[in-house]
Amino acid sequence: MPKNSILYIDAYDSFSNNIIALLRDNLPVTVESIKIDDSRFVLNDDVFQKYLNNFNAVVAGPGPGHPANSTDVGLIGKLWTLPDECTLPVLGICLGFQNLALAFGGDIERLNEPRHGLVRHLTHCDRDIFSGIGELDATQYHSLHVRLSHDIEVDHSTDPWTPARKCKQLVPLAWDLSDLNNGPILMAAWHCHKPFWGVQYHPESVCSSGGSELIQNWWAEASRWNAVQGRQCDVTPPTVSRMIEQVTVSVEYRAPSPVGWRAVPYGGKKNVADLVNILRVQCERAEPILLESGVRDFKPVNPETGRFSIIGLPTKDALQLRWSTKDRLLTLEAEGKVVYSKQMPISGVYAAVESIMTEHKASHGPTDVPFWGGLVGYMSYEAGLESIDVPPAAVEDARPDVWFMLVERSVVVDHVKHCTYIQSLSESDEVWLDHVVELVQNLNSHTSELPSSKPDGVIISGPNKAEYCAKVNACQKQLRAGESYELCLTDQTLIRNSAKPWALYQRLREANPAPFGAYLHFADAEKKHELDLISSSPERFLSWSRGGKCQFRPIKGTVKKEAGMTRKKAEEILRSEKERAENLMIVDLIRHDLNGVEGVRDVCVPKLMQVEEYATVYQLVSVIEGQLDTAASTTAALANSLPPGSMTGAPKKRSCELLGAIEAASGPRGLYSGVLGYFDVGGGGDFSVIIRSAFKWSEDGVWTVGAGGAVTALSEPDAEWEEMLAKRQSLMDVLLASS
Ligand SMILES: C=C(O[C@@H]1C=C(C(=O)O)C=C[C@H]1O)C(=O)O
Ligand SMILES: NC(=O)CC[C@H](N)C(=O)O
């Protein structure tokens, strides 16, 4: 157990946990993290100063906003003027660095062009915290910068490493001299009398080099200063508590049971939609749930994420779990009756899911198959907002923001090994299993005919170009002010179409086969809420194996397939700085989300920015993985990372607040931007991001199609508008189709 301890002060950034991981991985320390507005300290300097005595050093983190704004920096602002006996070594990163410079005479100015997710080669002094670092690539996430009125900022003639006349105490340590538009940008400095260092760039980013060396150099400098001062820390502080509260939900206990299953070959030209049609009668008046891996020419469109199609066959009596942001009521329904109902925060929902999954834990299912049975359903964007403490848009109805159904009987198709698995969690379900084996065996090859859909789709409302472009501009205004690094702007189109949802889904799967196709119809026992959803999402949000290996696959970067667009051209566009910057920000954000899960190990990025091809678009995809140990930590991984970073932008909390205001007129995003998938009774799970989808509440009878894209400082409003249209196209084709 290391005796050394570092305090990390978090300015609500979406990269903080990456910095904490960098510290833990490189130094013999424990790290305690507090927020800039920690209520124990904001109004109580004495208590804060005493608390600081617990630590060898402090890292003042990055964040949204302006370093001169006390609500943006909070406790960080107190570090520079502590009485001598309380002063301790500090490393300021980005916002923390800007606040340090401001405190000692530097000016803060806006960059001519914000630098978000851009990687630059820096010029450094090769001493102090940069000693021995060599070539240095640095990821930048900033709109503002420090100006010392240093001569180098005017012409390049003077020595860049001596302090400017105006700020004699701040010694430059690194510069970005690569930017013609912005001129030289100060990238690091230290205070020549106090133990304060700062860097403008993000050493913890996956694309920065030299992060470990920088942190080790800083620690050596900080330790030397502490030794010279004879400064000693008081005690080892307590570790941070877990995010999920323990909420006990009493559900009947059942011993773990073996899964009953059969395997039948799935050869020829069989079609999953036909399989659903013949299995529909097995659901006793409920609808089958389909999580489909799309195929083209009988091959999965993406075998990495889309190998299996899952048909859940719930009965109308199946256990349901619902929760709404409106009344915060967690409701469990079983056998058509409400068996539990209590108001609780979203953390209670995760606890209830954990408890249901523990109760239904099963074993001995087919090892290849990721789903043996379990909870299938969704969590809305607004349910995600609850976990980051952002108020959701006001709504009239308490519609379920979380809705899961327990699936005890299922049929799963393996599109790679051409095998169908028929599975049941109920004991002695042999007769049913054998019956379904027979049905599947008799399934004819490719008999499916697309049901005709009436040409009655009508757009009721939707975005218009001028307004959408104005919203892009509103986003960019915030980006230039340093309030956000990237904002995923979205809008909604409402369409009336009275065709059967299943018929519409069948068209969608033909038009846009996707690794996360989905069709579901959920209804509560009283039919107060009834929901249809059709999805052709290309994007995995989060999956975890039964062994606890988890994977995020954010998509960021989109090129529309149009006349003349080839994969090669798309790759060129997606290699551009703008597209890579968009993707990099989300990769770092997801690393942060995952690094924040207690007990996670080996967080890594095995794939960075690869191009994937879909029916209407090319996409840039990255993969972030890590190892989790217990069932509780897999649920925590989900709890920690909603709403999906690819649908918010970074930093997540501030970005969601800003988007809430910019998108206010469209109301809640609802299921769009949420996640859909399952918790498997064997211990695994898989959730997609709900995009390229449409959903409909029966009360309204109107389909909602959300679409949008990431806005950065480099975006052009017209191109953003076109991108949004491209993303909703496949749904528009289906919902407005005339046959
Ligand atoms: C916002 C959407 O998509 C998201 C935004 C993307 C982008 O900005 O390139 C790509 C995939 C999704 O994460 C959408 O499909 O509506
Ligand atoms: N990453 C950061 O800390 C950003 C700091 C500040 N908000 C800026 O945009 O310059």
For 701-733, how does the pLDDT look when each residue is reduced to its tens digit (9 = 90+)?
A: 999 999 999 999 999 999 999 999 999 999 999
Contact assessment for residue 272 and residue 413, using Cβ atoms and an 8 Å cutoff: yes
Pocket of ligand 2 (CB under 6 A): 62-65, 94-95, 141-144, 482
| Neighbouring C-alpha atoms within 13 Å toward the C-beta of 401 | 31
Q: Among 552, 647, 715, which residue has the most ligand 1 atoms within 8 Å of its CB, making it the best to mutate?
A: 647
pLDDT digits (tens, 9 = 90+) for 34-85: 999 999 999 999 999 999 999 999 999 999 999 999 999 999 999 999 999 9
Ligand 1 atom nearest the C-alpha of 646 is 13
| Residue 122 CA, ligand 2 centroid: distance in Å | 18
Rounded distance, CA 308 to CA 369, Å? 8
pLDDT digits (tens, 9 = 90+) for 511-545: 999 999 999 999 999 989 999 999 999 999 999 99
**Helical H segments across 398-516, by residue range:** 430-441, 465-480, 501-511
Burial label, 126 (beta-carbon count in 10 A; 0-12, 13-18, 19+): middle
Residues 204 and 269 in one domain: no
**What's the total number of domains in the chain?**
2
Is 670 part of a structural domain of the chain?
yes
- DSSP β-bridge partners for residue 262: 422
Residues 190 and 285 in one domain: no
Residue at a domain's end among 182, 209, 229: 229
Is 686 part of a structural domain of the chain?
yes
DSSP-derived secondary structure letter, 594: H
Position 379 confidence tier, pLDDT thresholds 50, 70, 90: very high
Residues 193 and 261 in one domain: no
Residues 347 and 221 in one domain: no
Rounded distance, CA 17 to CA 2, Å? 19
The mean per-residue pLDDT over the stretch 369-378 comes to: 98
How high is the pLDDT of residue 688? 98
> Does 690 contact ligand 1 (Cβ within 6 A)?
no
- DSSP β-bridge partners for residue 649: 487
DSSP letters, 126-183, are SSGGGTT--S-EEEEEEEEEEE---GGGT-S-S-TTSPPSS-TTEEEEEEE---TTT-
| Neighbouring C-alpha atoms within 13 Å toward the C-beta of 349 | 27
Position 157 confidence tier, pLDDT thresholds 50, 70, 90: low
> Does 556 contact ligand 1 (Cβ within 6 A)?
yes
User: ∠ CA 509-515-519 to the nearest 5 degrees?
Assistant: 50
Is 511 part of a structural domain of the chain?
yes
Peptide bond into 501 cis (omega under 30): no
The mean per-residue pLDDT over the stretch 388-405 comes to: 95
The mean per-residue pLDDT over the stretch 150-171 comes to: 77
How high is the pLDDT of residue 671? 98
Residues 438 and 493 in one domain: yes
Give me the amino acid identity at 378.
Y
**Among 78, 551, 70, residue whose Cα is nearest residue 304:** 551
How high is the pLDDT of residue 630? 76
Is 239 part of a structural domain of the chain?
no
How high is the pLDDT of residue 268? 76
- 62 phi-psi bin (left φ>0, alpha ψ -120 to 50, beta other): beta
Contact assessment for residue 328 and residue 308, using Cβ atoms and an 8 Å cutoff: no
Terminus-to-terminus CA distance in the chain, angstroms?
69
How high is the pLDDT of residue 124? 97
How high is the pLDDT of residue 349? 97
Position 194 confidence tier, pLDDT thresholds 50, 70, 90: very high
Using a pLDDT cut of 70, give the percent of the chain over it.
94
- Please tell me which residue, 284 or 634, carries the higher pLDDT value: 634
Q: Which three-class secondary structure string do you get for 227-286? A: HHHCCCCCCCCCCCCCCCCCCCCCCCCCCCEECEEEEEECCCCCCHHHHHHHHHHHHCCC
The mean per-residue pLDDT over the stretch 590-606 comes to: 95
Residue at a domain's end among 183, 212, 229: 229
Neighbours of 474 (CB within 10 A): 16
- 35: CATH: 3.40.50.880
| Domain carrying residue 470 | 257-735
Position 233 confidence tier, pLDDT thresholds 50, 70, 90: confident
Residues 399 and 513 in one domain: yes
SS3 719: helix
User: ∠ CA 730-516-527 to the nearest 5 degrees?
Assistant: 85
Mean pLDDT is lowest, of 244-248, 368-372, 433-437, 599-603, for 244-248
Is 345 part of a structural domain of the chain?
yes
Mean pLDDT is lowest, of 140-154, 431-445, 482-496, for 140-154
- pLDDT higher than 70, residue 203: yes
Rounded distance, CA 169 to CA 180, Å? 28
| Dihedral of alpha carbons 258, 263, 269, 270, sign | negative
Residues in the chain: 739
> Does 142 contact ligand 1 (Cβ within 6 A)?
no
> Does 727 contact ligand 1 (Cβ within 6 A)?
yes
**Among 704, 697, 709, residue whose Cα is nearest residue 619:** 709
Ligand 2 atom nearest the C-alpha of 111 is 10
Is 404 part of a structural domain of the chain?
yes
Contact assessment for residue 641 and residue 594, using Cβ atoms and an 8 Å cutoff: yes
Contact assessment for residue 650 and residue 373, using Cβ atoms and an 8 Å cutoff: no
- 371: CATH: 3.60.120.10
> Does 707 contact ligand 1 (Cβ within 6 A)?
yes
Residues 261 and 225 in one domain: no
| Alpha carbon of residue 51 to chain centroid | 33
> Does 586 contact ligand 1 (Cβ within 6 A)?
no
pLDDT digits (tens, 9 = 90+) for 447-466: 666 666 555 799 999 999 99
Predicted TM-score (pTM) of the model is 0.95
How high is the pLDDT of residue 239? 46
How high is the pLDDT of residue 464? 96
- Please tell me which residue, 189 or 303, carries the higher pLDDT value: 189
| Dihedral of alpha carbons 364, 366, 370, 371, sign | negative
Rounded distance, CA 82 to CA 498, Å? 68
Nearest ligand to the CA of 198 is 2
Estimate the crossing angle of helix 652-662 against helix 465-480, to 10 degrees. 140
Whole-number average pLDDT of the chain: 92
DSSP letters, 80-126, are GG--GGG---EEEETHHHHHHHHHTT-EEEEEEEEEEEEEEEPEE-S
Ligand 1 atom nearest the C-alpha of 538 is 11
DSSP-derived secondary structure letter, 451: P
Residues 558 and 681 in one domain: yes
ipTM score of complex: 0.98
Residues 218 and 328 in one domain: no
Is 235 part of a structural domain of the chain?
no
Q: What are the Cα distances from residue 396, in Å, to 236, 393, 531? A: 49, 10, 17
Q: Among 490, 555, 725, which residue has the most ligand 1 atoms within 8 Å of its CB, making it the best to mutate?
A: 555
The mean per-residue pLDDT over the stretch 660-673 comes to: 96
| Dihedral of alpha carbons 630, 631, 634, 636, sign | negative
Contact assessment for residue 403 and residue 531, using Cβ atoms and an 8 Å cutoff: yes
| Residue 527 CA, ligand 1 centroid: distance in Å | 33
Is 240 part of a structural domain of the chain?
no
How high is the pLDDT of residue 151? 61
Q: What are the Cα distances from residue 479, in Å, to 129, 448, 656, 673? A: 30, 50, 13, 21
> Does 490 contact ligand 1 (Cβ within 6 A)?
yes
Residues 223 and 264 in one domain: no
| Residue 208 CA, ligand 1 centroid: distance in Å | 25
How high is the pLDDT of residue 245? 43
Residues 474 and 610 in one domain: yes
Q: What are the Cα distances from residue 136, in Å, to 147, 201, 207, 214? A: 22, 11, 10, 10
Long-range contacts of residues 268-274, Cβ cutoff 8 Å, at least 24 apart? 268/445, 268/446, 269/298, 269/445, 269/446, 270/443, 270/445, 270/446, 271/446, 271/447, 271/448, 272/309, 272/311, 272/413, 272/509, 273/448, 273/506, 273/509, 274/443, 274/444, 274/446, 274/447, 274/448
Position 437 confidence tier, pLDDT thresholds 50, 70, 90: very high
Using a pLDDT cut of 90, give the percent of the chain over it.
83
Give me the amino acid identity at 559.
V
How high is the pLDDT of residue 443? 84
Neighbours of 593 (CB within 10 A): 23
pLDDT digits (tens, 9 = 90+) for 109-129: 999 999 999 999 999 999 999
- pLDDT higher than 70, residue 241: no
How high is the pLDDT of residue 235? 56
Peptide bond into 651 cis (omega under 30): yes
- DSSP β-bridge partners for residue 175: 123, 186
- Please tell me which residue, 558 or 643, carries the higher pLDDT value: 643
Residues 632 and 710 in one domain: yes
- pLDDT higher than 50, residue 142: yes
